[in-house]
Structure 1
């Protein structure tokens, strides 16, 4: 009868082993090339002698003595080996000469096609030009090379080394690679004995694969992956209830092609027909079973069992029983799971304690804490508090624990490590106007209150900005977020120059995990100058100056997942902003929406996603909108391949009342997590009304994106070209583009 037990407990196991005395049978003194080293004058002074008992303290003293008396050696390493001929030990003192690695060469015994395949053989080697030479590194480096060549399809590869030196201070390391066989390609993978599970299901669990279609090249056999794939197949069988399944592999070679055979002995299949609950005193059995949430009449699955216990633990912890115990017994004869549950005493929060804060005020920290003294302990609220504190950016580390202090209560202890919050930052990026650069100073924790202030300056081809930004994440002690901004801008727009002094005050609330709502107001003083002769006839009511007073309402919904580079790989995002305003020409409304959806098609070994994404941007401005607030298309953010802000409705250079821009992008890793390829199609149209959206521009393009987030730039760089396949006469084209960072077009719209 199969039995499986899972217990939520913590054990501390201590043990001690008293080793017996061992006699030293032999002592050798060699250098790093296995040549004998003469220590005759010192040997009598050593405490470790042939025939004496081995003593670790004496060995350490002997090493120090040899270092002192023989300073020409940079290091002395001892090897302690058992004597196979008789009981006792053999000691080896290895003397490391002070030498620098002059060069590292990898020598192959034969020429092979497709030798490198993008794999840098010198990468990951410890021995490198200019480093200190250490003999012990050679064994590790040889093993690294063996693994690399096995991945290249040479399972019988052997690697040896030799040392060459023309001086006593420099050495050249040569690794000699004997491939041992032809490069092996995977011809076929076959399963035998798999009566219950289809072969295609098992192949999906493996990384070794056959070629996808008849025109593609056969994949190289990576022998290092075979053990992992065997474990994956066994695990999959166990997840389907075949806990006693036995699987072995054998290989068949023919003319450099490999057929891989998996021999399967499935054994009995264990099912779960019923779940019983034993021992519960507080909750009804149905509550426990629902929380455990294991589907009956399904295969026995240990992973699902553990996940079910985790769900049960979270259920009990959220209702005041964080110290409860749970145990599972599975009876294979009756196909029954028995849940043994002991809730224990209900726990209450007696106090919330903050430790570790040096600058941040305790009352400010507690504004992000959702645990309330006097109420039952709720592990969900503790986890929510932990995530909320970490998301603030004020702390480099946060730990939240519940510590029982009595039979029915305890305290929640919040242990924080404060992060540096004052930052001077230099930035580079792209907007619809072209390349931008800037510098900013920010203090994210002003006087330990959690409030932040920043001053920034930005310069681009058509925009100069000096700004001040203030944020309060807990406005008047609530969960409302206040943001106040003051910006002075000078813009060189097509056909005119614009200077503005703008203020914006926003109050936002995170309604749910994914939804944020905001409302605010703006006041802007605008001065227009140098209006072109082409533009002037179309703006009869234009004045040298104007004032805009308006409201702002925003909604942001975001549910996205990210890959290892921090790039969105899947999910959905929607932004909506409405700005009813009053200007010199009366009341008008400006609004825009951006909708983005992404899906991951898989990831490489570094966790970088193959991502397919789509985006739609919509903008609308009513007829009385000032011309300097209307929409333009062209450039990054709307449609690449056209000059920035060069697309306007036909016969009207003052901008559009309606804009629609779409984008479809496929991004894929090319080299590890550093280089990505980008293929995209974009389209855009502008008009004075929805009925005028007819002159569509469209482009297709290719690009390369470099991940530089681990460098001082802390961003990414993308460059490429876009070729229009739908355009209009007189369009200003700009086929090449270059972009720092990620650009959000909603900012300019």
Structure 2
């Protein structure tokens, strides 16, 4: 892949091209009106000025009235004025005792435009040009433009684009102005057709080149872009080649020659490298010298290279880095560990001396944050594990960075240490942050003949007013639905990180809107949630709440088993005291775009004794990111759930008249009159309440199947339409391959996935053969309005009657 050129590096490259330019051009006219005899200047006149003021000329002119001027002084004056860069022609003469300076100004740049550049961003290129003076309003210098053209051509050549065409155009305008246009035709990068290593006898070329950024053209090159030649990439690959042999003990390895050939059409590259492998060396001795600060025995344990081992530069670096990191964690920020090899070529051995130079012990004077335009400074400081005024600790700094990334407020967090001027034992730590929207907002207004006027507003903010508090508000209302939600969480209710949250909800809705069994309910919920951190990555969460759920179901409309459950209690309202306790571990390296780490949670939710229904639900969720390469990240996910009642089953006899065509929804009577023609039916309520069942299918579980439609289904009495009723057992999982480099934007990620899962009535009904599976592609985008997920999936294991939905979209999705 090509590497983006930073503004700073581009400016330096362009500037370095210009610094080699002589101050006087071959076309410039620098002269006098003739030999000047010495005279005393009574006055100075400047002719030819258009934009530049006479005062500016006098500022640079080394001659003043009253000075005695001869030929040497005139020559010096001409050189001084020309060095300003303002003039194409400078001529000095005299008229009596008046010094006459005649100048021809260089034109000013009225407009500077770029076109055709894709590999180098316009903003970066304009910044680089502006840093060297080629910008609108500045004086135009054609030589500078030519030098910039040559430098840009060289930059594109380094990126493997040898067909690049850079054509500058200068348009003359009135009042000594010009428009400058730079048209760029980048062309395609030359493809690497063949890489040939000559001299490798001990290892296969495929093994040697594993991990190279440069590769021969193949069917995956469209994604990895490893077939695009770049001098920069090739230099790095040759360094990897050298490391490959040094890590295996071949101390005398060398790259004898490197040849890069290009085809006549400048489209194909051929790379040849000649190498000498040499002999394998072993380690004869390992010695640690210098001031180790820590006990020498402790330092020796960090050294992984041992006597009689095959020499490995990588293991030597690991040993040095381990000692350096350990010293850095106790304040020695500038500690150095230098391996000094003693090579015995006759014996084929290397003696290693590790010289430890700890340097001064360093204090962190200040911790500074940059870029947090919305987030309060206090919100960031409470995530710090490195404190001001304490000894420097690299581990604490790194952990602080991960905690900042874990907030989800920033897509990029950079850290650097800056020495304090005049002090060799103090540093300032600077975190540079790039904030992103930390929430979502949605508003809807509509009208239909069925629901009449419909309104919806939803606000979710994870960093409310920059305070770090999380707040979510939702209101939705139409003729058939009313819903109001409010939640608030203070993640730092106490200074040591104990969080406190509140959830309130009231709703009247028809459950059929969620592709589940058709019944209506009116519910109210109130909860208090407490979170307690126990380690840097682990926490315990508890919840206590109360809710009331009034359910409206009727035979012929709702599946009979659900109606029977309600009838068994002889009431429609279910009151629940609800408790929950859970443990979670989060070791992700980034909250928004993780590439490594694990997040898992297990929690038990149960209704407390005295509730209408006494039940429990045990849940477990798991997600782990595995970085396979810089092009691939594997995410493995699992979501399991099981529920049941812990109280006795409830049984009751009811009188029921079967529906008829004339009376499809007959009333139920509570007391059965002896001799009645009504059918006496026994109903039982057992297991997990149906309104607490698990569901599967959709974007958040098994993509490619309609939301909530997998699992047990049942038709209402007298109907052939089967409705999803959920189940007490849930098993879903996913393998998702993320392509972090497919989309250049850090706000979007593309992936390919395989989803598997289903829900079952109870544990006895579990059957692995009934699991459903799908495969497809997904795009996750962190939009300004909130996260959006789009997926297209094809079911690869399904059954007749499954509801298929290949293209699925959800707002407030996730990574």
Number of equivalenced pairs: 651
Match of 1:574 among 597, 600, 610: 600
Q: Label 1:56 to 1:312 Cα distance change in 2 as closer, same or farther (>3 A).
A: farther
Tell me if 1:469 matches 2:488. Answer: yes
CA contact (8 A) 1:722 1:736 kept: no
Give the equivalent residue in structure 2 for 1:549: 577
User: Over alpha carbons, which structure has the higher Rg?
Assistant: 2
For the residues of structure 2 that align with 1:632 and 1:507, how far apart are their CA atoms?
27
Match of 2:524 among 501, 515, 524: 501
Give the equivalent residue in structure 2 for 1:534: 557
CA contact (8 A) 1:632 1:646 kept: yes
Q: Label 1:417 to 1:339 Cα distance change in 2 as closer, same or farther (>3 A).
A: closer
Deviation at 1:278, TM superposition (A): 3.3
For the residues of structure 2 that align with 1:340 and 1:204, how far apart are their CA atoms?
33
Tell me if 1:338 matches 2:353. Answer: yes
State the secondary structure of the residue aligned to 2:213. coil
Give the equivalent residue in structure 1 for 2:28: 28
1:713-732 matches, cutoff 5 A: 713=785, 715-723=787-795, 725-729=797-801, 731-732=802-803
Q: Label 1:662 to 1:204 Cα distance change in 2 as closer, same or farther (>3 A).
A: closer
CA contact (8 A) 1:126 1:137 kept: no
State the secondary structure of the residue aligned to 2:564. coil
For the residues of structure 2 that align with 1:638 and 1:214, how far apart are their CA atoms?
30
Deviation at 1:150, TM superposition (A): 7.3
For the residues of structure 2 that align with 1:451 and 1:104, how far apart are their CA atoms?
43
CA contact (8 A) 1:481 1:507 kept: yes
Deviation at 1:210, TM superposition (A): 2.6
For the residues of structure 1 that align with 2:397 and 2:301, how far apart are their CA atoms?
23
Give the equivalent residue in structure 2 for 1:698: 772
For the residues of structure 1 that align with 2:545 and 2:619, how far apart are their CA atoms?
16
Give the equivalent residue in structure 2 for 1:210: 216
Tell me if 1:595 matches 2:637. Answer: no
Match of 1:617 among 619, 636, 639: 639
CA contact (8 A) 2:574 2:612 kept: no
Deviation at 1:579, TM superposition (A): 0.6
CA contact (8 A) 1:121 1:145 kept: no
Quote the RMSD (CA, aligned, Å): 5.9
1:69-148 matches, cutoff 5 A: 94-99=106-111, 101=113, 104=115, 140=148, 144=152, 148=156
Match of 2:501 among 469, 472, 483: 483
Give the equivalent residue in structure 1 for 2:41: none
TM-score norm. by structure 1 comes to: 0.67
For the residues of structure 2 that align with 1:736 and 1:25, how far apart are their CA atoms?
65
State the secondary structure of the residue aligned to 1:651. strand
State the secondary structure of the residue aligned to 1:602. coil
Deviation at 1:96, TM superposition (A): 3.0
Give the equivalent residue in structure 2 for 1:742: 813
For the residues of structure 2 that align with 1:299 and 1:245, how far apart are their CA atoms?
18
1:220-619 matches, cutoff 5 A: 222=229, 224=231, 225-240=233-248, 242=251, 245-251=254-260, 259-266=270-277, 271-280=282-291, 284-298=295-309, 305=316, 307-316=318-327, 318=329, 328-333=339-344, 335-341=350-356, 380=395, 425-426=440-441, 438-440=458-460, 452=469, 454-457=471-474, 464-473=483-492, 475=494, 477-494=495-512, 495-529=518-552, 533-535=556-558, 537-538=560-561, 539-542=563-566, 543-561=571-589, 566-582=592-608, 584-603=611-630, 609-619=631-641
Tell me if 1:188 matches 2:210. Answer: no
For the residues of structure 2 that align with 1:581 and 1:214, how far apart are their CA atoms?
54
For the residues of structure 2 that align with 1:362 and 1:346, how far apart are their CA atoms?
28
CA contact (8 A) 2:788 2:809 kept: no
Deviation at 1:248, TM superposition (A): 2.0
For the residues of structure 2 that align with 1:453 and 1:77, how far apart are their CA atoms?
67
Match of 1:651 among 714, 717, 722: 714
Deviation at 1:611, TM superposition (A): 3.6
Structure 1 unaligned segments of length 5 or more: list them: 1-21, 31-38, 67-75, 79-90, 107-117, 430-434, 604-608, 745-749
Structure 2 unaligned segments of length 5 or more: list them: 1-21, 31-45, 64-70, 91-102, 130-134, 445-454, 513-517, 645-685, 716-722
For the residues of structure 1 that align with 2:212 and 2:310, how far apart are their CA atoms?
22
For the residues of structure 2 that align with 1:289 and 1:270, how far apart are their CA atoms?
22
State the secondary structure of the residue aligned to 2:601. strand
Q: CA deviation digits over 1:465-485, x for unaligned, max 9?
A: 42131324354x545433333
For the residues of structure 2 that align with 1:143 and 1:247, how far apart are their CA atoms?
30
TM-score norm. by structure 2 comes to: 0.63
Deviation at 1:336, TM superposition (A): 2.3
For the residues of structure 1 that align with 2:639 and 2:510, how far apart are their CA atoms?
24
Q: CA deviation digits over 1:389-431, x for unaligned, max 9?
A: 786689999999999xx99xx99999999999998852699xx
